[in-house]
Amino acid sequence: MLIEMNRPWTIVLRDDAPLADLEPLIAARQRIGPVRVARSLDEGLADADSVLVVGGEAPDTAILNVADGRRVPVGWIGTNGGNVRAFVRAAVELVSRFEQDLAPGPAILLAQWDDRALQLADEVEHATDLPLLRWSAERLARRDLLEALRCGPGVALYLGHALSGGWVGYGGVTASALNMRRMHPMGAILTIASDAAQCNRGRASFSDELVLRGVCAAALGATGKITHQVNRVLARSIVRALSRAQTLGELLLRMPDEVLHGYRIAGDPAAPFIGAAHSLEAARRVCAPSPEQLVEPALRTRKYWSVTA
């Protein structure tokens, strides 16, 4: 069951926010608890556990420290000419999963085929009690990954290199590639890498595109370069806290400010980490064995492996 927030779900509508497109999400949220609609960030922060801002400029941080000592997660949706309907459909679907009392998870661990990324994946793979499956790039090819993520897991965590247009791992993954075919939306996608939330020459960032295309209801990404050591600490902290926090906002409140510096949230921080019905069963059917399960140690290398007779 989702951890209850103490204050109303809060949405801040800037002047360019398309209210008609957002009404289905507001109505869905009203079915499960109180809702507060504000017209400025200061007004929204006055009584909020987390805030979704629609329109205007993106915040440059994931957590705002307010005057009364609270730390408030803040997510953002760019209006992009009023194109927020795919995000609204995804966010409404996540509310529906909560209403159905579906279990949190599963969590999917993604990693680039890179020594540091794979080593970090090894470190965090067993650090949570939430059902977690590892689909790192030495185990799953790009085409199979895109197909597998269609099951709509609760949360996906990517480790490795990223650009403002997508993940470098798996031969390159963009938001458009992820929703090329009809899919169940994910609760959240967390890209622990540089640049994924960086807007380049006015174009939406990878994190923003993920939510605007309805791939997920929330996405975490960096607005610039982040050192590997900081990302290592953040990844380890996130995975350890996954089983104790069931929304992105709750999760990030368990992180110290210093490891979140340079990160921001696209989408709704209050979207739950709840996968589609039967997503855990579907994810468990994905064939993503480790090289150790397929070849003898003497024949195995870090970069190449094959099934032997």
Query: pTM score, two decimals?
Result: 0.92
Segments making up each domain of the chain, as ranges: 9-288
What CA–CA distances, in Å, run from 203 to 16, 90, 169, 200, 266? 18, 22, 21, 5, 14
Which of the four CATH numbers 1.10.286.10, 3.40.50.1460, 3.30.2010.10, 3.40.50.960 does domain 9-288 have? 3.40.50.1460
Percent of the chain with pLDDT over 70: 92
Q: Which amino acid is at 299?
A: L
* CA 259 – CA 23 distance, rounded (Å): 35
Supply the pLDDT for residue 34. 95
DSSP string, 250-289: HHHHTS-HHHHTTEEEEE-TT-B-BPPTTHHHHHHTS---
Residue with tokens 């996906």: 156
Q: What is the pLDDT of residue 302?
A: 39
Asked if the peptide bond before residue 59 counts as cis, ω within 30 degrees of 0, the response is no
Residue 87 — φ and ψ, nearest 5°?
-60, -45
- Per-residue pLDDT tens for 214-246? 999 999 999 999 999 999 999 999 999 999 998
Quote the tokens at residue 68: 């009364």
Structure-token pair, residue 40: 């400025």
Can you say whether residue 82 is alpha, beta or left, with left for phi > 0 and alpha for psi between -120 and 50 degrees? left
Task: Report, in angstroms and rounded to the nearest whole number, the Rg of the chain calculated over CA atoms.
Answer: 19
Which phi-psi region, left, alpha or beta, contains residue 78 (left: φ > 0; alpha: ψ -120 to 50)? beta
Task: Residue 138: name the closest of 109, 177, 178 by CA.
Answer: 109
pLDDT (0 to 100) of residue 16: 78
What is the chain's pLDDT, residue by residue, as a tens digit (309 residues)? Answer: 344 456 899 999 998 788 999 999 999 999 999 999 999 999 999 889 999 999 999 999 999 999 888 999 999 999 875 689 999 999 999 999 999 999 999 999 999 999 999 999 999 999 999 899 999 999 999 999 999 999 999 999 999 999 999 999 999 999 999 998 899 999 999 999 999 999 887 789 999 999 999 999 999 999 999 999 999 999 999 999 999 998 999 999 999 999 999 999 999 999 999 999 999 999 999 999 987 776 444 433 333 333 332
Intra-chain end-to-end CA distance of the chain, in Å = 47
Cβ neighbours of residue 104 closer than 8 Å, sequence gap 6 or more:
2, 130, 154, 246, 272, 273, 274
- How far apart are alpha carbons 187 and 76 in whole angstroms? 15
